[in-house]
Amino acid sequence: MQYSTAASDALLALACLASVLGIWRSPRWGEKPLRATWWIAVAALLLTGAAATVGVLHFGVNERWQPLHAKLSQASSLLALPALGVAALTLVRGWHWQRLGWCWVIICLSVLFEGAKRWGVLGSYTLLLNVVTLLMLLYAGFTQGGKALPAAVGAVALLIVAGLVVGTQGNFGPVLRVDVFHGLLSVAYPLLAWLLLHLHNGPGVTDGTQKSVKTL
């Protein structure tokens, strides 16, 4: 058993749950034109939280949970995080996508994942997808400005450090790298939720009045 990693996964699961509760309790949850967007954000956070929860079982209870943990972790990386990036883009641009539009986003991400896996380019696809996602988050932060900018930069910086510098293999002295990885994500995901909640004055908003936008 790897109890320190079970503990760090538990911290990540709690961070995702807190992020979901923050969105649910926000007045923005009641914005009907954006209801589908908030649902997709909540689903993405719950997916990451589910991966972390199964990680607790994998590292702290029984290793038979490893296959499910691996699949959920991959889904979190290739579906949940990109969905949050797309949500940030739609919010800052003032796009009100409905369920059909978001279904197409998930379908496209799933098809691209399966295609990359079949063609043997999953590693390159994952890197490209992560870069595009981070660029969307930075774009949203810079476009919105104000409090959203440091949140976007902070979240992106944490994700870059976690993925490219820390990783999940090996250790820093007595500390496992995967535990540091989980710790960084435990800060990054609440920052992403906070960022989404502050992306509300996209193009087409003047003096607090939002113009009509195309819906899907």
**pLDDT tens digit string along 159-177?**
999 999 999 999 988 999 9
Count of structural domains within the chain: 1
In a domain, residue 215? The reply is no
Closest CA to 216 of 93, 98, 40, 92: 98
d(CA 183, CA 177): 10
Residue position matching structure tokens 């902070």: 154
CATH code where residue 106 lies? 1.20.1070
In a domain, residue 38? The reply is yes
Structure pTM?
Answer: 0.90
d(CA 88, CA 199): 7
In a domain, residue 105? The reply is yes
Report whether pLDDT(204) > 70.
no
And the tokens for 79? 């579906």
Q: Range with the lowest mean pLDDT among 35-44, 99-108, 196-205?
A: 196-205
Q: To the nearest whole number, what is the mean pLDDT of the chain?
A: 91
Q: Could you tell me how many residues make up the chain? A: 216
Q: Do residues 28 and 41 lie in contact, with contact meaning Cβ atoms separated by under 8 Å?
A: no
Per-residue pLDDT, 200: 81
In a domain, residue 211? The reply is no
d(CA 196, CA 106): 19
Domain coverage including residue 123: 3-202
In a domain, residue 214? The reply is no
Collect all residues with Cβ–Cβ distance below 8 Å to 57 and sequence separation of at least 6. Answer: 65, 69
pLDDT tens-digit readout, 81-114: 999 999 999 999 999 899 999 999 999 999 999 9
Percent of the chain with pLDDT over 70: 93
Report whether pLDDT(74) > 60.
yes
Per-residue pLDDT, 1: 81
Per-residue pLDDT, 201: 54
Phi, then psi, of 131 in degrees rounded to 5: -65, -45
Kindly indicate the confidence band of residue 126, based on its pLDDT and cuts at 50, 70 and 90: very high
